[in-house]
């Protein structure tokens, strides 16, 4: 059975963090952004590229 990957957007110490869990061997999809709009844009790009679902843990209703 294949691992089920998820893109997670959450608040970070400074700004917002986007991570893919579990990690994808050979790809580093994890990134930090100063604002939610940029984090959500990156997450949508990863979703289009890899078809992973997005989980918004910010509580701010990211448009994903």
pLDDT digits (tens, 9 = 90+) for 22-63: 999 999 999 999 999 999 999 999 999 999 999 999 988 766
- 32 within some domain: yes
C-alpha distances (whole Å) from 63 to each of 10, 22, 23, 28 are: 13, 23, 23, 23
- pLDDT at residue 64 in the model: 67
- 21 within some domain: yes
- 40 within some domain: yes
- 64 within some domain: no
- 15 within some domain: yes
- 12 within some domain: yes
- 13 within some domain: yes
Query: What confidence tens digit (pLDDT) does each residue in 7-17 have?
Result: 999 999 999 99
- pLDDT at residue 38 in the model: 95
The pTM (predicted TM-score) of the whole model is 0.86
């Amino acid at each position: 059975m294949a691992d089920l990957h998820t893109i997670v957007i959450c608040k970070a110490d400074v700004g917002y963090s986007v991570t893919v869990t579990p990690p994808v061997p050979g790809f580093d999809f994890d990134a930090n952004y100063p604002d939610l709009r940029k984090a959500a844009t990156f997450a949508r790009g990863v979703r289009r590229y890899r078809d992973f679902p997005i989980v918004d843990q910010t509580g701010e209703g990211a448009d994903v």
